[in-house]
Amino acid sequence: MIRFLQFSDIHFLFCEETEDDYAQMRIRFIEDLENVKQQFGPIDHVLICGDIACKGQKEEFNKAREFIDAVSNVLEVNGKRPNVFVVPGNHDINRKSYEVTRNLLRPILLDKKNNNNFLQKIKHTEPNTLKILYAPLSAYNEFAQPYFIDEVSETIMIDDMDELCFDNKNYYWKFNLGKEGDYKVNLYGLNSTLTCDGKERAKKDLKEDNHLTFLPRAAYNIQAYSNEINISMIHHPLDWLIDENHVCKIFDDRFKLQFFGHMHIQSSQNDKTIKIFSGAFQPEQEVDIMDCPPVYNVIELSVENTIMTVKLESRKWDGAYFIKYVEESKTMSVSLASPDNWSEIAQEEAKKDPIAIEDIMIPINEINYMFINSDNQREIIEKLLPETYDDKRSDRANCLIFLKAVKEKGLYQQLLNELNK
């Protein structure tokens, strides 16, 4: 069994605690997590589905980091804390960053006939243009680095790395969560914020001045094998995306469990796949919390034969405490392809994946954070993986490439040992 804690739309503002309407609620949330830990057992992974900040400012993300650290600490069991995974939401961008240029680029990205070809072309021939698209995520990226340093585009598109570093980089991050039954479980994080400016709406709510959002096809057009369970994390529901029909078809084929944020109201769907739409953890203050109560979810994923079962317990704020959200708590299931059906080609592809999950007590994101803030980065790189260091790259680029190699080679314990010296 794999156990998740999911929440979304925290909307952190930088303000004094006495000015924070949700400060007391967060205290009760931390206390409730103690009860959840006793009732369900250890939480393996924490999923935060976007809108961590309110205006994409560094001070807001600093406040969010303190809160996430408190969540991780209370969920610790026998010295081991859960991994934390995040994706950006529309409130996590600085809308003023390159505003004029992004306004010119937006119509191209919202043209479903040409958008993906345009993005592919600038990725390989005009990387500085691509960096402009990701520039509004600068503060988010600094906050999020420790949580997923891998192939995610946000960690490289806004840095001063040379053009060659853009090749073979993905528009998603991927993390292997281990095995459940006979299936390998993969978690994918996707970014749906590239065209956000405050005017984006769902398809059914579009008016003259509104538009949809853009998700690069390369972000979700993944290879999926019969012996895998792929899980997606994205902020916007799919009806907010350009080319919704095509996107839905691919998602439902390749992601059997889908996590969303943004809607502020808790809901879920169970058809060909399982979709969980997290309510807002800290709804925007003009919202009536009786109609839109703060929510978080505890999810248990298990597999028996070829049936994937997801047990969802949703918990809502009643104004004084968190209680079970009875109407939204349920058990859902979907059928999986038999793991014996995967092809010889797929088996060969699987053999190319050398990444193994190390059994270490400290979450990987915390080791990444320790390394990023270390004064001995170059010394550690040259001792563990000297071939990953290049004087011609920036310090940050060398760190990113080194940490990716640490993951691929399973060297987190050695890195931790160096950091603790």
From CA 260, how far away is CA 199, in angstroms rounded?
Answer: 19
Bridge partner list, 311: 300, 331
The HSE-up count of residue 389 (CA atoms within 13 Å, CB side) is 12
The answer to whether 259 touches 209, Cβ cutoff 8 Å, is no
User: What pLDDT, on the 0 to 100 scale, is given for residue 152?
Assistant: 39
Sign of CA dihedral 382, 388, 393, 399: negative
User: What pLDDT, on the 0 to 100 scale, is given for residue 162?
Assistant: 44
The answer to whether 403 touches 371, Cβ cutoff 8 Å, is yes
What are φ and ψ of residue 198, in 5° steps? 95, -10
Q: Which residues of 169-183 are buried (b: 16+ CB within 10 A; e: fewer)?
A: bebbbbbebeebbeb
Nearest to 39 by CA among 247, 244, 315: 315
From CA 255, how far away is CA 266, in angstroms rounded?
Answer: 20
User: Residue-wise pLDDT tens for the chain (421 aa)?
Assistant: 999 999 999 998 877 776 788 899 999 999 999 999 999 999 999 999 999 999 999 999 999 999 999 999 999 988 888 889 999 999 999 999 999 999 999 999 999 899 999 998 888 888 788 888 888 998 998 888 777 544 334 444 444 444 444 445 678 888 888 899 999 999 999 999 999 999 999 999 999 899 999 999 989 999 898 999 999 999 999 999 999 999 999 999 999 999 999 999 999 999 999 999 999 999 876 566 677 899 999 999 999 999 999 999 999 999 999 999 999 999 999 999 988 765 555 555 555 544 444 556 677 777 887 887 788 899 999 999 999 888 876 676 678 788 878 888 888 889 999 998 8
Helix (H, G, I), strand (E, B) or coil at 103: helix
Which ranges of 20-159 does DSSP label H, i.e. alpha helix?
23-40, 58-74, 99-109, 115-125, 127-134, 138-144, 154-157
CB atoms within 10 A of CB 354: 8
User: What pLDDT, on the 0 to 100 scale, is given for residue 158?
Assistant: 43
From CA 312, how far away is CA 329, in angstroms rounded?
Answer: 5
User: What pLDDT, on the 0 to 100 scale, is given for residue 342?
Assistant: 55
User: What pLDDT, on the 0 to 100 scale, is given for residue 298?
Assistant: 98
**Whole-number CA gyration radius for the chain:** 21
User: What pLDDT, on the 0 to 100 scale, is given for residue 138?
Assistant: 87
Find all residues with CB under 8 Å of 73, minimum gap 6, and list them: 81
The answer to whether 138 touches 53, Cβ cutoff 8 Å, is no
* Residue type present at position 270: N
Which ranges of 160-228 does DSSP label H, i.e. alpha helix?
217-220
Tokens of 300: 């248990």
User: What pLDDT, on the 0 to 100 scale, is given for residue 348?
Assistant: 57
Query: Edge to edge, what strands does the sheet with 172-180 contain?
Result: 172-180, 183-190, 228-233, 257-264, 274-279, 267-270
From CA 204, how far away is CA 215, in angstroms rounded?
Answer: 18
**The dihedral formed by the CA atoms of 143, 146, 150 and 151, expressed in degrees to the nearest 10:** 0
Q: How far is CA 20 from CA 54, 76, 241, 388, in A?
A: 13, 27, 33, 45
Tokens of 258: 């889908």
From CA 62, how far away is CA 59, in angstroms rounded?
Answer: 5
Domain annotation for the chain: domains and CATH numbers:
2-341 (3.60.21.10), 364-420 (no CATH)
Find all residues with CB under 8 Å of 369, minimum gap 6, and list them: 145, 146
Residues in the chain: 421
User: What pLDDT, on the 0 to 100 scale, is given for residue 356?
Assistant: 45
* Residue type present at position 138: S
**pTM of the full structure:** 0.84
Residue in this structure with the two tokens 């980091």, named with its chain if needed: 65
From CA 411, how far away is CA 364, in angstroms rounded?
Answer: 11
Nearest to 83 by CA among 68, 63, 105: 68
